[in-house]
Amino acid sequence: MKELYKIADYLNHSMGLNFVDKGSASTLARALPLYLKQGVSFRKFGLENIDGLMIYPKEKENLQYASLCNNARQIREKSNINTILVLSNIDSLDRKLLIRMKQDFIVPDKQAYLPSWMMSFNERGMQRKGTIHKSLTPSAQLLLFYHFEKEPVDGLKLADIAKKLSYSQKTITKAVQELEAKGFCSTSRTASGKNISFVSLDKIWNDYSNLLISPIDDVLYIDDDSLIPTEERITSYDTALAKHTFIADSDIKAYAIDKNSETSKVIIQQGLRYGAVRVELWKYNPAILAKDNYIDPLSLCLIYRDSDDERVQSEINKLINRILCEE
C-alpha cells in the first residue's frame, strides 16, 4: 500500500491530476488468460474520470519491457480498459521503447507517461533544455572515438581515415569541419594534406559531453539471434556494462549492429518488435570501435548516461574516470 500512496501523492499533488484508487482487480484478472497474469499483479484506479488498470511487475530488475508492453496491449484490448505499468525505475533506453510503443507508465516521484490520457509528463528534466549547439553527427562522433579508442588519426590523410571508418572522403571532410567548428580539434595544412590535432579527452568529456550522442537509434527484440551473422554480433547493453563495471550481468542477450547494414534491413522489414534477444540499431557501425566483440567503453557510457539507477550512474562515473586517467 505504501507504493499506492506514493502514486496517489505524485499524481494528485505533484501532477495536479484527479487520481482515485478503485481497489482490487481480481474479477477482471480472473477473466484473463494465465500467461497475461504471470509475474504481475493488478489494481484498478481512475484518473481524470477515466478508468485504468495498474500493472505491477513482481520482478524489479531485468524486465522484458517489450513483452510487458505486448501483454499490457492484449489486456487493454480484452478488457477494454487503459493499462499503466507501475515501475520502480527505468533507464533511458527502455523508457524510449515504452514511449515508442505508446505504453502508459509511471515511476512514482520521478516521471509519468500517459498517452492514453493524452498527456505526457516528465518531472526529471530528461531532455536537456537550453542546449545551444547541435549534437555531433554520427560520423563526427565515430571519428572522435576512433582517434581516442582505436588509433590516433593525427597525420593520416582524410582519404585513409575515410577507408578506416567506411565513409566517403566527403563525409569525413565534413566531419572534421564539424569537429573543428565545435572546438574538438584544430587543423593545419601540411605538405601531405590536412593535419588534425584533437584537444584532450578530459576536456571533451568535461566541456563538450552535452554534444555527444547516444549511439542507439532504435531497439528491436527478436526471438532468434541467428538472424545476426556471427561476425556482426557486437555484445552490448547489460553484458557490456558488466564487462567494464561491477554491475551484474542480466539474462538478456543484446547485440549492437549498424542501422544501415543489410542485417538491420532484414530485421526491420520483418517488423520484429518482440523477443528474448535485444538488437540495438546504431547510428554508426559499432564493429569499427569494438574490442573482443564488445562495444567500446565511451559509447557504453553514453548509452547509460541517463540511467535512473544510482548504482549504474556510480559505476559509469568510475568507468569514465578510469578512461580519462588512462588517456
Q: What is the pLDDT of residues 36-58, one digit of tens each?
A: 999 999 999 988 888 899 999 99
Above 90 in pLDDT, residue 130?
A: no
Residue-averaged pLDDT of the chain: 87
Q: What is the pLDDT of residue 75?
A: 93
Above 70 in pLDDT, residue 233?
A: yes
Give mean pLDDT, residues 155-181: 93
CB 48 within 8 A of CB 17: yes
Above 50 in pLDDT, residue 119?
A: no
Domain membership flag for residue 130: no
Which of 210, 226, 256 is the last residue in one of the domains?
Answer: 210
Predicted model pTM: 0.63
Q: What is the pLDDT of residues 66-75, one digit of tens each?
A: 889 999 999 9
Q: Is the same domain home to 301 and 226?
A: yes
Which of 183, 210, 237 is the last residue in one of the domains?
Answer: 210
Domain membership flag for residue 15: yes
Give mean pLDDT, residues 16-39: 89
Q: What is the pLDDT of residue 4?
A: 83
Q: How confident is the model at residue 224 (pLDDT cuts 50, 70, 90)?
A: confident
Give mean pLDDT, residues 234-246: 95
Domain membership flag for residue 19: yes
Q: How confident is the model at residue 131 (pLDDT cuts 50, 70, 90)?
A: very low
CB 126 within 8 A of CB 96: no
Q: Is the same domain home to 143 and 88?
A: no
Closest to 264 (Cα-Cα) out of 242, 243, 287: 287
Above 60 in pLDDT, residue 98?
A: yes
Domain membership flag for residue 81: yes
Closest to 137 (Cα-Cα) out of 63, 77, 215: 215
Q: Is 29 exposed, middle or buried (0-12, 13-18, 19+ CB in 10 A)?
A: middle
DSSP E strand stretches across 119-229? 119-122, 185-190, 193-198, 216-222
> Count of alpha carbons within 13 Å of 132, Cβ hemisphere only?
2
Domain membership flag for residue 88: yes
Q: Is the same domain home to 191 and 218?
A: no
Q: What is the pLDDT of residue 152?
A: 95
Domain membership flag for residue 246: yes
Above 60 in pLDDT, residue 33?
A: yes
Q: Which domain holds residue 204?
A: 138-210
Which of 122, 155, 186 is the last residue in one of the domains?
Answer: 122
Q: Is the same domain home to 252 and 296?
A: yes
Q: Is the same domain home to 266 and 238?
A: yes
Q: What is the pLDDT of residue 272?
A: 62
How many domains are there within the chain? 3
Q: What is the pLDDT of residue 49?
A: 81
Domain membership flag for residue 94: yes
Give mean pLDDT, residues 213-229: 89
Please give the residue that has the higher pLDDT: either 302 or 192.
Answer: 302
SS3 99: helix
Q: How confident is the model at residue 241 (pLDDT cuts 50, 70, 90)?
A: very high
Q: Is the same domain home to 250 and 181?
A: no
Q: Is 131 exposed, middle or buried (0-12, 13-18, 19+ CB in 10 A)?
A: exposed
